[in-house]
Amino acid sequence: MKYSRLTKEQFEALHQEFANFLATQSIDKKEWDEMKANKPEVAEQELDVFSDLIWEGVLSQTNYLEHFSKNHIFLFHCLEEEVQSVVLKTLEPEVDFMTSKGLEWMVNNLFTYAIDIHVGRKKYEGEKNVAIFDIIQQGAILSDGQLYKQIDQIVNAK
Which helix or strand (DSSP H or E) is residue 30 part of? Answer: helix 29-38
Across residues 82-88, what is the average pLDDT?
95
d(CA 2, CA 48): 9
Q: Which residue has the higher pLDDT, 157 or 44?
A: 44
Q: Which residues lie closer than 8 Å to 138 by C-beta, 6 or more apart?
A: 67
d(CA 115, CA 92): 8
CB-based contact 51:126 (threshold 8 Å): no
The confidence score (pLDDT) of residue 112 equals 87
Reported pTM:
0.86
For 118-144, write each residue's pLDDT tens digit.
999 999 999 999 999 999 999 999 999
For 91-110, write each residue's pLDDT tens digit.
999 999 999 999 999 989 98
Q: Is the pLDDT of residue 157 over 80?
A: no
